[in-house]
Each structure stands twice: as C-alpha cells, then as structure tokens.
C-alpha cells in the first residue's frame, strides 16, 4: 500500500512529502527522505524491543505490561522528587500527559531541550525572537547564514527544501541569487557549499558576534585586526553582505548553543539580527534536532508558563534551568526516581548524571533498547510516532504538523501507557 504525504519523524525539518510503501505490515520502500529518514523507516522493525523487560539479580527478564505499569506507578508515588525526562521523540498529546503527571506527582519535568536549544530559549526570554516560518525563508531569503550548524549532515533536506537548492516565489533565479554564509570551527560539508566561510576559533562566537554588531552600527574603529581567528576585513565584508541582503535568514545550531557562554551567544546573535533589521529584513531560527523537541516547549509553555525544566515539587511551577534541568538534578543527586520517555539520556549526559540514573529506580518508556536501558530497572516498549502512532509535532520554526501512523505493529502508544499510569496516580492521590 502506498502512503503519500507521510511526515518523517526524525529531525525537526519534519519533511511532510515522503512516500512510503508498506506490504503486509512491513515498510518496503521510502521515497523523498534523506539517508537519516530512510534509515528510520526501513530499519525500524529490526531494533524494536518486543515486550516490557525488567532487571532481576540474574539479568533481564520479560515482564507483563500490567506488572510494568504497577511498578512504574509504585516508583513514582514513592518518590520525594521524581524526575520525568525526555519527551522530544514523542507526540504532543503524550507530552501533555507527562506535564499533568509531573504536577500531580510533585516532580520535575524536563526535555532534551535543556541539552540542545535550551540556551536559545533563555536568550529569547531575554531579548525576544525575530523569527519566521521556513516558508518565508524559502520564498524570500537571498542570504542564508548557518552558524554552528551543519545541515548537510544533521538536517540533510534543510537546504533542498527551504534554502540553497530550492526555488523561491520572490526570487528570480533562487539557486544563483541566494548567498550562503557558513560560520564554524571546522570546515564542515556545509562549509563546502558556502559563498563565504568564516573559520572561527573554538569559543570565539561571542566575540565575533559582538564585533559584527559594532560594525553594523558603523563603529569599527576599536575592533582589533583579528577576532577569534577572523580577520577584520572578512568581518567588514560579512557585515556588508548582510546589510545588502533583501531578506536574510540566520540559522544556528548546537555549535553555538552548547559552547562556552551558551545563551549569551544566542542573545548576541539575536541582537545582531535586531541591529540588521535597522538596515534590511533579517530573521533567526534555531536548527532544532529531535523532530518534536519544539513541541515539548509549546506544550509545556501552554500548561505551565515555562518551556522546559519545570519543578512542581511545591505544587506550583518553578523554572530555573541550571537548577531544575535534568543534568543538574541528576549530577547533584537531587532526584530519587526517574521516568525517561522517548529519549536516551545515558548516551548524552555527563558521567555523574548517568551514574545517578543507575543508582535510583529508573523506568524507560521507549520503542528501542538504547544506552539508557543499561541504567534502568524497567523498560516498556511503545509504538513509534510517525510509523505506528500518530500525533502532533512542531517543526523547528514552530509550525504544528500532524504526524501520521502508517501501519499497526501491535504496540500501545505513549499516550496509552502514560494515560494509564497517570490515571492510576490520580486514583492513588484522589485527584
């Protein structure tokens, strides 16, 4: 059977033009996806965990779904400060149950945002977000800047769907007219297609952004001959290119959000875009990673007023990344139970944080065994959103897209499992 307009649930480009062919419950062909998307669809069934598993002194053993849910409820209700972490690899409906659950439990809820574009959000909270949709970029941008981002490898269709290689309604010869500036600490594949590549010294983003802001303001006298490895001539040239553009689009990745200075780098980038808007039209968009990491921020903000790292221990929402974010809580041993949903913290968190994950009762709800499995007491497999579960996702520019289910592999969805756990918790707490 051929499924058209399928949405790829891998990266936050959320490409919605895939054609997927299924035969007898198996995916046999995928069209239009990049290598990452193809791999996700075509090898999905090879890696699934078939049934709930629990750790025993003699190793892993299978568990019934009933037992797995009972034990999860018991762990969460028994905790003085449970942490509910992950959420970026599932749909909005499941995320919203997670937020409700954190509130009723008096726990802390955080998503992978805190280790990817959390700093972008902190910066946006300080100085706002001059953003736009990717459709605007596609149709209008004649200058695209990728800063600390390598879309050719991380978001492979970004350039062909929204920037360099696509037509634009307001551009005559988009491919020729669009200029690309790439800023990075190494010559990436994306740098190879840039009209101007700025090779910056590690940790030098902030200084270069400050220098560009001053130049755009017409104050360049105090700028030294080189700033973080970039010559003053190149900085002047870049500033001129940006000012002359009719519509500039600035995309930034984790190469700038997770380097020293973190959110202050992004704030500086936003303020550069703000300065450029005195000369022309310029916008800024984070290159979000997980396909629905933005969704968690949306859901969490509607429900709590804060986008991630929300602490409900005192019954009301308190937000302070650095204190209420998952890495900090785990590394400081400040939680006594953890529920991991749709992410793999053990593969990405620092050693101290991961060690604590193994010291407290940890349950994972995820379709696949992963590094975090090794630190869990229990894992419950679920359907994969975009393959055998449907729901709402948010693209990197904040556009909501309905992700489809294309077959049924017999797994419960995140919404089913979390809904049941939440029901049981409410029952026990009489709310």
Q: Where does this chain bind another protein (CB under 8 A)?
A: 79-81, 105-107, 122, 125-126, 201, 203-204, 206-207, 210-211, 213-214, 217, 219, 221-224, 226-229, 260-261, 264, 267-268, 271, 312-314, 319-323, 332-334, 336
Q: Which residue's CB is nearer to ligand SF4, number 100 or number 155?
A: 155
Q: Which does 380 bind (CB under 5 to 8 A by kind): another protein, ligand SF4, none?
A: none
125 binds, among ligand SF4, another protein, none (CB under 5 to 8 A by kind): another protein
352 binds, among another protein, ligand SF4, none (CB under 5 to 8 A by kind): none
Cβ 260 to another protein shortest distance, Å: 6
Of residues 55 and 264, the one with the C-beta less far from another protein: 264
Residue 397 partner contact from ligand SF4, another protein, none using kind-dependent CB cut-offs of 5 to 8 Å: none
13 vs 342 by CB, closer to ligand SF4: 13
Residue 226 to residue 234: CA distance in whole angstroms: 9
Inter-CA distances, 54 with 146, 363, 377, Å: 44, 9, 6
Phi, psi of 320 (to 5 degrees): -160, 80
Which residue in the set 6, 11, 209, 254 belongs to the binding site for ligand SF4 (CB under 6 A)? 11
Q: CB-wise, 134 or 215, nearer to ligand SF4? A: 134
CB of 22 to ligand SF4, least distance (A): 17
Torsion of CA 245, 246, 250, 251, to 10 degrees: -110
Would you say how long the chain is, in residues?
431
Looking at the DSSP bridge assignments, the partners of residue 285 are 251
Q: Where in 121-160 is the site for ligand SF4 (CB under 6 A)? A: 155-157
Number of residues that bind ligand SF4 (CB under 6 A): 13
Task: Tell me: does residue 15 bind ligand SF4 (CB under 6 A).
Answer: yes
CB atoms within 10 A of CB 202: 12
Residue 286 binding target from another protein, ligand SF4, none, CB below 5 to 8 Å by type: none
- Residue 18 or 310: the one with the smaller Cβ distance to ligand SF4 is 18
Contact by Cβ (8 Å): 160, 148: no
CA distances from 107 to 72, 77, 315, 335, 359 (A): 14, 10, 9, 9, 18
Q: How many whole angstroms separate alpha carbon 29 and alpha carbon 284?
A: 36
Q: In angstroms, how far is the first alpha carbon of the chain from the final one? A: 45
What does the alpha-carbon distance between residue 209 and residue 272 come to, in Å, rounded to a whole number? 7
- Choices 13-21, 174-182, 273-281, 330-338 (CB under 6 A): range interacting with ligand SF4: 13-21
Question: What's the CA gap between 136 and 284, in Å, rounded?
Answer: 12
- Span of 12-20, 47-55, 100-108, 119-127 interacting with ligand SF4 by CB under 6 A: 12-20
Q: Find, among 36, 93, 18, the residue nearest to 295 by Cα.
A: 93
Task: Give residues 190-249 in contact with ligand SF4 (rule: CB under 6 A).
Answer: none
Place of tokens 């006594």: 336
Does position 300 interact with ligand SF4 (CB under 6 A)? The reply is no
Report if residue 308 touches ligand SF4, rule: CB under 6 A.
no
CA distance 242 to 314: 48
- Residues of this chain, 24-83, that bind ligand SF4 according to CB under 6 A: 33-34, 36-37
Query: Which option in ligand SF4, another protein, none does residue 319 bind, with CB closer than 5 to 8 A by kind?
Result: another protein
- Cα distance between residue 381 and residue 69, in whole Å: 12
Of residues 371-430, those binding ligand SF4 (CB under 6 A)? none
Contact 355, 381 (CB under 8 A): no
Token code pair at residue 135: 């459709």
CB 84 within 8 A of CB 286: no
**Beta-strand (E) ranges in 349-390?**
362-365, 378-380
Give the interface with ligand SF4 as residue ranges (CB under 6 A): 8, 10-11, 13-15, 33-34, 36-37, 155-157
């Amino acid at each position: 059977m051929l499924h058209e307009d399928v949405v790829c649930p891998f990266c936050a480009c959320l490409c919605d033009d895939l054609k997927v062919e299924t035969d007898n419950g198996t995916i046999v062909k995928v069209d239009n996806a990049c290598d990452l998307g193809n791999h996700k669809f075509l090898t999905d069934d090879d890696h699934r965990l078939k049934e709930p598993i629990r750790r025993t002194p003699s190793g892993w053993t299978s568990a019934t779904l009933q037992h797995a849910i009972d034990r999860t409820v018991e762990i969460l209700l028994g905790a003085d400060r449970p942490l509910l972490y992950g959420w970026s690899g599932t749909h909005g409906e499941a995320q919203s149950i997670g937020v409700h659950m954190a509130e009723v439990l008096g726990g802390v809820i955080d998503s992978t945002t805190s280790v990817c574009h959390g700093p972008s959000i902190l910066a946006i909270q300080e100085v706002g977000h001059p953003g736009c949709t990717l459709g605007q970029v596609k149709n209008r941008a004649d200058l695209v800047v990728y800063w600390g981002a390598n879309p050719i490898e991380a978001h492979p269709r970004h350039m062909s769907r929204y920037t360099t290689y696509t037509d634009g309604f307001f551009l005559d010869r988009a491919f020729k007219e669009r200029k690309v500036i790439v800023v990075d600490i190494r010559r990436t594949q994306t740098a190879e297609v840039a009209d101007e590549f700025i090779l910056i010294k590690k940790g030098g983003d902030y200084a270069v952004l400050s220098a560009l802001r001053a130049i755009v303001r017409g104050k360049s006298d105090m700028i030294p001959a080189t700033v973080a490895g970039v010559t003053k001539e190149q900085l002047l040239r870049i500033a001129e290119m940006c000012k002359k553009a009719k519509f500039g689009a600035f995309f930034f990745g984790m190469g700038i959000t997770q380097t020293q200075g973190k959110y202050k780098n992004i704030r500086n980038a936003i303020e550069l875009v703000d300065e450029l808007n005195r000369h022309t039209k310029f916008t800024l968009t984070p290159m979000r990673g997980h396909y629905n990491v933005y969704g968690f921020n949306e859901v969490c903000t509607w429900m709590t007023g804060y986008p991630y790292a929300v602490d409900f221990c005192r019954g009301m929402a308190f937000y302070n990344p650095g204190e209420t974010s998952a890495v900090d809580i785990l590394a400081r041993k400040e939680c006594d139970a953890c529920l991991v949903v749709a992410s793999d913290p053990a593969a990405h968190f620092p050693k101290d944080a991961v060690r604590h994950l193994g010291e407290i009762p940890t349950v994972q709800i995820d379709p696949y065994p992963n590094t975090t499995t090794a630190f869990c007491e229990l894992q419950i497999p679920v359907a994969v959103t975009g393959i055998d579960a449907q729901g709402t996702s948010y693209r990197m520019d904040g556009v909501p897209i309905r992700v489809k289910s294309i077959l049924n592999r017999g797994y419960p969805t995140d919404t089913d499992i979390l809904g049941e756990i939440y029901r049981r918790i409410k029952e026990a707490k009489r709310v």
